């Protein structure tokens, strides 16, 4: 259960998570999600300004689609160069190809990702590497986490409270 969240501000995300097969319960200031142990179904979307699907969440949906059943398409219409994380996710075994002058990502879900060393390269996409690492088998090491720290204060502590196993370690 995520507290201090306004479900009204996340309508498009909640709709897409339901499409992926999530059972979602909502309160005035909380959101609870349960996949009941099932893999998500791949989803497709087009980013656009609010209230449409936010560009800042497309990288996280690519992480979801990377382990989903089926193939999902993510079309980015707001910013250029928003798929810098794709190469890093591919190092974990994700099957992603870019089309349309790098404006569209086609993500074919795989059963499992493998932990790997990856490099954060921007704020929003970097947290998607953490998400992918959480579902990967083995250990994932995310380098250059200062990108994550710019926008997510103590993200490892918050995710650990939700059941994650994340450790912040000094880089070699």
CA 111/CA 123 separation, integer angstroms: 27
CA 161, CA 138: separation in Å to the nearest integer? Answer: 20
Taking the C-alpha atoms of residue 96 and residue 103, their distance in angstroms, rounded to an integer, is 13
The share of the chain scoring above pLDDT 90, in percent, equals 87
| Spatial strand order in the sheet of 30-34 | 2-3, 30-34, 23-26
CA distance linking residue 134 with residue 26, whole number of Å: 24
Q: How far apart are CA 53 and CA 10, in angstroms?
A: 9
DSSP string, 131-145: HHHHHSBS--EEE-T
Parts of the chain belonging to CATH 3.65.10.10:
39-161
pLDDT digit string (tens) for 16-49? 999 999 999 999 999 999 999 999 999 999 999 9
Strands (E), 38-114: 45-46, 71-75, 95-99, 104-108
Chain segment 124-149, per-residue pLDDT in tens: 889 999 999 999 999 999 999 999 99
Given pLDDT bands bounded at 50, 70 and 90, which one contains residue 171?
confident
**Other CB atoms within 10 A of residue 70 CB:** 14
Angle at 41 between CA 48 and CA 51, to 5 degrees: 20
Q: What is the pTM of this model?
A: 0.93
The pLDDT confidence band at residue 123, using thresholds 50, 70 and 90, is: confident
Query: Per-residue pLDDT tens for 70-104?
Result: 999 999 999 998 999 999 999 999 999 999 999 99
Mean pLDDT computed over 1-10: 91
Does 39-161 carry CATH code 3.65.10.10? yes
């Amino acid at each position: 259960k995520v507290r201090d969240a306004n479900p009204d501000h996340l309508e498009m995300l909640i709709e897409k998570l339901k499409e992926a097969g999530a059972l979602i319960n909502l309160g005035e200031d909380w959101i609870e999600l349960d996949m009941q142990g099932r893999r998500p179904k791949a989803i497709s979307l087009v980013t656009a300004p609010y209230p449409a699907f936010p560009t800042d969440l497309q990288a996280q949906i690519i992480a979801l689609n990377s382990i989903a059943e089926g193939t999902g398409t993510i079309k980015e219409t707001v910013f250029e160069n928003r798929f810098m994380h794709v190469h890093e996710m591919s190092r974990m075994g994700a099957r992603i190809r870019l089309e349309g002058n790098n404006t569209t990502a086609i993500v074919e879900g795989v059963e499992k990702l493998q932990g790997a060393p990856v490099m954060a390269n921007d704020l929003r996409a970097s947290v998607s590497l953490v998400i992918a690492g959480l579902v990967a088998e083995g250990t994932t090491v995310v380098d250059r986490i200062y990108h994550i720290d710019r926008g997510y204060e103590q993200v490892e502590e918050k995710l650990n409270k939700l059941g994650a196993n994340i450790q912040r370690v000094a880089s070699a």
